[in-house]
Amino acid sequence: MLDEKLLEILACPKCKGELDYRTDPEEVLICHSCSLAYEVRDDIPIMLVDEAKPLEK
pTM for this prediction: 0.91
29 vs 19: CA distance, rounded Å: 6
Rounded-to-10 torsion of CA 37, 41, 45, 50: -50
Residue 52: predicted pLDDT: 98
Q: List the one residue out of 17, 23, 56, 15 whose CA is nearest residue 45.
A: 23
48 vs 30: CA distance, rounded Å: 13
The continuous run of DSSP H or E covering 45 comes out as strand 44-45
- Model confidence pLDDT, tens digit, residues 4-55: 999 999 999 999 999 999 999 999 999 999 999 999 999 999 999 999 999 9
46 vs 27: CA distance, rounded Å: 11
Domains of the chain: 4-54 (2.20.25.10)
